[in-house]
Amino acid sequence: MKHFKLRYEFGRYIKKSFLYKNVFFFLKIIICLLGLSFVWQNAYAQTQLDSKGTNFWLMFNSNLGTPELTLFITGDIPTTGTVSIPGLSFSTSFTVTPGSVTSVTIPESATVITSDTVQNLGINITAAEEVTVYGLNRVQFTTDAFLGLPVDILGTEYINLGFENSLVPGTQFGIVASQDNTTVTITPSADAGSRRVGVPYSIILNQGQTYQLISTNTASDLTGTVIQADRPIAVFGGHQCSNVPIGVPFCDHLVEQLPPTSTWGQSFLTVPLATRVGGDTFRILASQDETEVRVNGNLVATLSRGQFHEEIILVQAEISANNPVLVAQYSNGTNFDGVTSDPFETLIPPNEQFLANYTVTTPASGFSGNFINIVAPNAAVGAINLDGSPIPSASFTPIGSSGFSGAALPVALGSHNFDGPLPFGLTSYGYDSFDSYGYPGGLALGQVALITNLTLVPETATNPINTQDCVTAAARDQNSRPLVGIRVDFEVVGANPASDFIFTDTSGNAEFCYTGTRVGTDTITASVGNIRDTVTKIWVSAQASRCDVDLDGFVTRADIQLILAVKNTGASSTTDPRDADGNGVINANDARQCALRISTTE
């Protein structure tokens, strides 16, 4: 999230002459005017909470062997920054050029390999401007990658999502503190060393300190472990080297940085991983009791908080739930269907957290097949660009009746840029012989799980064509508190079709403006996932905006009758065609004025 700072420093002594007094007086005026301008500009500014940021605290979980650790950093504007590991006295600077990816090698000693121990192995990335960060934890034949999440979207409640122990007993999760004196309370979903299933325990972490819990018990699975803190923390879920599905050789490292439960969603769209012929394994994790999960409209599970549903899905799918859930897609082991590949874990962003542009990268070498999965609104198909060129519409296939389409695209080694007119979802992944990686290309991270009310105003308005008018959507939680950084989608159907998306500002509001060029009625819908509100906009002829009540382009006796039918009532707006004199009241005088404008052709 971008923060604007304005600082004025007066460190020199100003003499008390008339000239200096006046200079100082005018300086104060200028400062006040600038301050007022600053406040005015930001009062209506969008606040986009997403995977881009200027400050990150990350970690690398335990892998099976000695890993090569790499951070990939990209940004939309030129910037510089620093990667540091205070516990290892490691620090290096980096430079980001838009449209390309900068690689930073991390010492292998930064890997957290112990269980149930506090260490100083947090990795801090800071930049002057917003960047996106990906982490690659690579050992030959056991690799995975994650999308880093910035400090400004970290939360205080998480539920771990990883995988079950099989041939290698290494189900795990890791935690990094972003602030000193952070108390973290953990309720394990399985026994892990001295920690007992269902028995909460607490640890205290300072900024940059890490904690990892590994369960080596047979068939153990730390998925569903609840992790809560009194200050924002970063959490990484996965497995040291897991077999997916259980018992299918060979294992591979699994890792994703997990989003806080406040950002989970209810609607998801998935595309099968390229080249696979036996389907992909999915897990859907519930944050609340009585969560009903549906796949392509069919009820497949009813879950309690911390429980998950697992199934193999062979086709494009629409996953939905009545409460917020977290969804992961897993690449199956190469022996599952005989395809060059291996397990990886990637999170599927909910529809309400899609973005409209991404810059992603493949590893520099070592993976012979690299792919991008895209899920896009049907209206955006053919208009999404890959490295500046439109992706052909024929590459996409409709996902049932969802209104979205999906594509699986091969890409060359290196960095790639994607952009589109509407938000879309993107997953980056790749394979080699008994090896793989996968991660979400990016996502918005507004607290969509907390929204309970979306109100759109005004409910109705009348405007002359070729003028701009606006509606405002207010996103609120169950306590009527404003929610910042929520992506609100707007769709206009009727005489003047249009669509756009706006992120709520610091007041929890998103303002959408458009110009009507055709006479008629528009229905405007604002939505955040399954929560929506609708209003009406009436566009009238500029020449006959007054008195043309039935909007047929003429003033007739029918219009006069409609005015008299509501005589002595208030006008609906300043542009109400029944209020001919514009005084805010519909009365007999308005009928008389409009009678003088009756079309001679009537």
Q: Which residue, 489, 513, 540, sits at the end of a domain?
A: 540
The letter for the amino acid at 566 is V
Question: Per the domain annotation, does 514 fall within a domain?
Answer: yes
Tell me how far apart the alpha carbons of residues 562 and 549 are, in angstroms, rounded to a whole number.
7
Report the distance separating Cα 602 and Cα 598, nearest Å: 8
**In the prediction, which pLDDT does 7 show?**
35
What confidence score (pLDDT) does residue 2 get? 37
Q: What is the pLDDT of residue 600?
A: 59
113 and 245 in one domain?
yes
Both 212 and 300 in one domain: the answer is yes
Q: What is the pLDDT of residue 30?
A: 39
Q: Quick one: which of 353, 326, 346 has its CA closest to 224?
A: 326
Residue pLDDT, tens place only, 86-110: 999 999 999 999 988 999 999 999 9
Decide if pLDDT at 28 tops 70.
no
pLDDT digits (tens, 9 = 90+) for 515-535: 999 999 999 999 999 999 999
- Is there a single domain that holds both residue 194 and residue 120? yes
Kindly state whether residues 478 and 594 are assigned to the same domain: no
pLDDT at 365: 84
Compute the distance between CA of residue 602 and CA of residue 548 in angstroms, rounded to an integer.
13
pTM, full prediction: 0.84
Residue 522 shares a structural domain with residue 571: no
The yes-or-no verdict on residue 410 having pLDDT over 50 is yes
Output the domain CATH number for residue 480.
2.60.40.10
Task: Give phi and psi for 41, each to the nearest 5.
Answer: -65, -35
Is pLDDT above 90 for 185? Answer: yes
In order of 165, 356, 472, the CA distances from 96 in angstroms are 39, 21, 37
162 shares its domain with 232: yes
Fill in the DSSP letter of residue 484. Answer: T
Residue 406 contacts residue 396 (beta carbons within 8 Å): yes
What is residue 45's predicted lDDT score, i.e. its pLDDT? 57
In a domain, 304, yes or no: yes
pLDDT of res. 503: 96
Can you tell me the distance from the alpha carbon of 40 to that of 466, in angstroms, rounded to the nearest whole number? 27
pLDDT of residue 561: 93
pLDDT digits (tens, 9 = 90+) for 115-129: 999 999 999 999 999
- C-alpha–C-alpha distance, residues 425 and 269, integer Å: 9
Q: Do 9 and 23 fall into the same domain?
A: yes
Task: Assess whether pLDDT exceeds 90 at residue 24.
Answer: no
Contact assessment for residue 566 and residue 577, using Cβ atoms and an 8 Å cutoff: no
DSSP string covering 354-393: -EEEEEEE--SSS-SEEEEEEEEEGGGTT--EETTEEPPG
Residue at 577: amino acid letter = P
Mean pLDDT of the chain: 90
Cβ neighbors of 565 (< 8 A, separation 6 or more) are none
CB 187 within 8 A of CB 226: yes
Q: Which residue reads 């908080």 in tokens?
A: 305
Q: Is the pLDDT confidence value at 26 over 70?
A: no
Q: Does the structure show a pLDDT above 50 at 352?
A: yes
Predicted confidence (pLDDT) at residue 43 exceeds the cutoff of 80: no
Q: Classify residue 77: in a domain, yes or no.
A: yes
How many domains does one find in the chain?
Answer: 4
Residue 528 in any domain: the answer is yes
Q: How confident is the model at residue 582 (pLDDT cuts 50, 70, 90)?
A: confident
Instruction: Tell me which of 247 and 82 has the higher pLDDT.
Output: 82
Residue 48 lies in a domain: no
Reported residue count of the chain is 602
Q: How confident is the model at residue 187 (pLDDT cuts 50, 70, 90)?
A: very high
| Domain match, 434 and 350 both | yes
pLDDT average, residue stretch 214-231: 97
Q: Which residues, 6+ apart, have CB-to-CB distance to 150 below 8 Å?
A: 51, 52, 53, 54, 55, 56
Residue 579 lies in a domain: yes
pLDDT for residue 100: 86
Closest C-alpha among 64, 114, 65 to residue 214: 114
pLDDT tens-digit series, residues 140-177? 899 999 999 999 999 999 999 999 999 899 999 999 99
Two structure tokens written together for 193: 């060393």
Residue 262 lies in a domain: yes
- Of 433, 33, 437, 474, nearest to 256 by C-alpha is 437
d(C-alpha 69, C-alpha 136), whole Å: 6
CA angle 17–22–28, rounded 5-degree value = 130
Domain boundary, last residue among 506, 540, 574:
540
> pLDDT-derived band of residue 442, with 50, 70 and 90 as boundaries?
very high
Instruction: Residue 556: give the domain boundaries.
Output: 546-602
Statement to judge: residues 312 and 400 lie in one domain? yes
- Separation between Cα atoms, residue 328 and residue 284, nearest integer Å: 7
Q: What is the pLDDT of residue 99?
A: 82
**Which residues pair with residue 144 across a beta bridge?**
137
- The alpha carbon dihedral of 329, 332, 338, 339 has a sign of positive
% of the chain beyond a pLDDT of 70: 91
| Residue 544 banded pLDDT, cuts 50, 70, 90 | low
Mean pLDDT in residue range 404-432 = 96
Domain boundary among the residues 43, 61, 76 is at 43
Determine, yes or no, domain membership for 377.
yes
Q: How confident is the model at residue 504 (pLDDT cuts 50, 70, 90)?
A: very high
End-to-end C-alpha distance for the chain, whole angstroms: 60
Shared domain for 210 and 113, answered yes or no, is yes
According to the 3-state scheme, what is the secondary structure of 224-276?
Answer: CCEEEEEEEEEEEEEEEEECCCCCCCCCEEEEEEECCHHHCEEEEEECCCCCC
> Are 385 and 478 within one domain?
no
Residues 6+ apart with CB under 8 A from 147: 51, 132, 133, 134, 256, 257, 347, 439, 440, 441, 442, 443
Residues 6+ apart with CB under 8 A from 275: 339, 340, 341, 369, 371, 431
- Residues 6 or more apart in contact with residue 391 via CB below 8 angstroms: 374, 382, 384, 385, 407, 409
- My answer on whether 300 and 437 are in the same domain is yes
Average pLDDT over residues 208-215: 98
